[in-house]
Amino acid sequence: MARHTSKVLPGLFRGVAEKGRLTVLEIGPALTETVEFFSRYRCRLYFIDLYQEPFLRESQSTLSEKELRREFEKRLSFPDGTRLDICLFGDFLSFLDDRALRAFNSALKPWIHERTRAHGFGVHHLAVKLEHHQYGVIDRETLSVRSRQHSQMPYYPHSQVEMADLLNCFAFERGLLLPSGKLEMMLKPKS
């Protein structure tokens, strides 16, 4: 397991006190370090490993945007009144084609509020290839980085402009270009 020290990740926790109440969505499996880190908060954690979903791995390109939205809505069906405070996307957004990203945006939108923050990785330019990693939260500044064990989904990189258009429930709050060419980003709800 490698570690990534982040200058962007601390922004997710600005204004959140230890033992504060949080609702967190992790797009990926429940990793031990993430569970341990969030155990210091009064927290509800939702782990939804969309990387394993057959509708994305095999048929993303054959489903209509409406069908994709319905599939995402099934997986993102939280209890009534749920408001997500933190969304951890990892590099998931780069594995969604345009229609799937718009559908994911539509399914996620009802659950975010004005203080929601999201963290993830994209690409600075389309020639950059993301590694097939999964991320865990070790502390407010450090992510764990592991190779995923299953085969990689098809890759659909989006420029920052495309991402802003397709994932329009969020706006970029902060981005940091990494030496690898990846873009680490923190997103906030679009006002």
pLDDT digits (tens, 9 = 90+) for 56-109: 876 667 889 999 999 999 999 999 999 999 999 999 999 999 999 999 999 999
Q: For the beta carbon of residue 102, count every other beta carbon within 10 angstroms.
A: 18
* Residue ranges covered by each domain of the chain: 2-189
* Of 87, 102, 79, residue with least CA distance to 158: 102
Does the domain formed by 2-189 have CATH 1.10.10?
no
Selection from 116, 131, 128, 141 nearest residue 177 by Cα: 128
- The answer to whether 117 and 85 have CB atoms below 8 angstroms apart is yes
pTM recorded for the entire structure: 0.94
* Of 170, 42, 49, nearest in space to 112 by CA: 170
DSSP 157: -
